[in-house]
Structure 1
Amino acid sequence: MNNIHDMGGMTQFGPIPQETDEPVFHADWERKVFTMNIATLAFLGPVDRARHAVERMDTKEYINSGYYQRWLRGIEIMGKDLGYLSDEEIATGKAINHKETPHPPPDAAMVEGLIRAGVPATREDGRLNPAYKVGDRVRVRNLESKGHNRATNYVKGKVGVITHYNGSHVLPDSHAHDLGENAQPLYTVRFEAKTLWGENVERKDCVYIDLWEDYLESESKG
């Protein structure tokens, strides 16, 4: 979907501040939100749904929120979507209704395991015959979607070269909306900087982006 979260390639947002010896968490509440985000995967759903929840934030709220504030807002949005939270409960901080979760809440050991191991998205039973090979020139399809999508706007319609085939991976577009995993080939595609932003760039610069097969078409189709 098109929203302010897809800021890649945009200008006029000013420099990105760099903090010397920046801590992982600037406040204890950020640590708690990090843990909450991992723990709620057990019943709020996959990370793709969590990303889509953040994408649906109000534009002004998104810009004025920090990293973990967006995570917290995403948890609230998913909780409301699935009937675990209400606006009143969020406003008061008090539980009013109770909805059973499909799984028991994870304990500390389970949360630590998720953090250390992650949730692999590679699959051996998806679309296993790639349509493209390393060296192929492909164009990113200019697909408009109201749902979750991982093809950033600044590469849509642009031509790049496949540099690596990464196997079959869960398609976020489907997974975020309970439409199945739809695992398919994932490629790393190299784009010349001048292809993306014109001639006023360093000619040696390039960008590598991982893109699913459904996002691509052969250059010749254009």
Structure 2
Amino acid sequence: MNGVHDMGGMHGFGAVEPEPEGTVFHHNWEGRAHALNLASPTRANIDAGRHQRELIPPAEYLAMSYYEKWIRGLSELLVQRGLVTPEELATGRPNPTAPRGTPRFTASEVPGIMTARGSYVRVIEAQPAFQPGDGVRARNINPEGHTRLPRYARGKGGEVVRWHGAHVFPDTNAHGLGEDPRHLYSVRFSARELFGEQAPAKASVFLDLWEPYLERA
């Protein structure tokens, strides 16, 4: 999906101001927003959550802070999946006639769950189409749905520097079409290939890109 969420390489939004090391949350509610997303039944599909945030109208998206977007996307997913009603969200009170759900996990289980490493790596029979050292070009695609191929790299040439194995494919997983794992590669692009002659001559950008995003150069 092309939209304001894909801002890489765009001008006019001001400089990126680094924050002091260790700054995680600016307000207490941001920590709660993070916790709600992790505790939500929708957490199992990170791609669906990302796509839901992409559906926020552009003017509203640009006016929101990072965790405001998280709360908006989570709220809409919870309603879509019948886990809460719009009235419950508006009032902050559960419907007394609604069936009581079973918590996903208890407080004592939280430390173990939060420190356990998850993985999107999968094993597939298909052999990788590319190897380190291969020249590739990012396909010039403009899907209406979710994709992790940034606009600024589309149609640009680079070199495969690493193969990461097969990983869940976001473009299908975000839309309930299955994991459809595909091979994932780290691809090096020169900064000038991506941004023109004004970019530093020796600078490079490394992108992790799924095989369907690439073609042989």
Q: Provide the TM-score with structure 1 as the length reference.
A: 0.89
Classify the secondary structure of the residue corresponding to 1:76: helix
Classify the secondary structure of the residue corresponding to 2:122: coil
**Partner in structure 2 of residue 153 of structure 1:** 151
**Residue number in structure 2 paired with 1:174:** 172
Task: Name the amino acid aligned to 1:55.
Answer: E
Rounded to whole Å, the distance in 2 between the matches of 1:174 and 1:72 is 23
Q: Distance in 1 between matches of 2:2 and 2:108?
A: 38
Q: Which amino acid aligns with 2:193?
A: T
Query: Which runs of structure 2 are paired with 1:34-183 in the superposition (5 Å)?
Result: 34-40=34-40, 42-43=41-42, 45-96=44-95, 98=98, 104-124=103-123, 126-183=124-181
**Alpha-carbon contact 1:44-1:82 (below 8 Å) kept:** no
User: Contact conserved, 1:50 with 1:75, CA < 8 A, in 2?
Assistant: yes
Q: Is the 8 A contact 1:147 1:173 kept in 2?
A: yes
* Structure 1: stretches of 5+ with no match in the other structure: none
Cα distance in 2 for partners of 1:155, 1:164 equals: 18
Larger mean Cα displacement after TM superposition, 142-151 or 85-94:
85-94
Cα distance between partner residues in 2 of 1:185 and 1:169: 6
In terms of mean alpha carbon deviation, does 50-59 or 201-210 score higher?
A: 50-59
Q: 1:11 to 1:43 in 2, by over 3 A?
A: closer
Cα RMSD of the aligned pairs, angstroms, is 2.0
182-191 or 77-86: bigger deviation: 77-86
The number of equivalent residue pairs is 216
Q: Distance in 1 between matches of 2:195 and 2:99?
A: 50
Give the percent of matched residue pairs that are identical in Structure 1 and Structure 2.
39
- Return the TM-score normalized by structure 2: 0.91
Cα deviation 1:161-198 (Å, max 9, x = unaligned): 00000001010111111211111110000000110111
- Separation in 2 of the partners of 1:104 and 1:22? 31
- What secondary structure does 2:82 align onto? coil
What's 2:194 paired with? 196
Change in CA separation of 1:146 and 1:110 when aligned onto 2, cut-off 3 Å? farther
- For residues 99 and 117 of structure 1, the distance between their equivalents in structure 2, rounded to whole angstroms, comes to 31
State how far apart, in whole Å, the 2-side matches of 1:163 and 1:116 are: 30
Q: What stretches of structure 2 of length at least 5 have no aligned partner?
A: none
CA contact 2:8–2:150 (8 Å) conserved in 1:
yes
Farther off after superposition, 156-165 or 14-23: 14-23
Aligned to 1:133, what secondary structure does the other structure show? coil
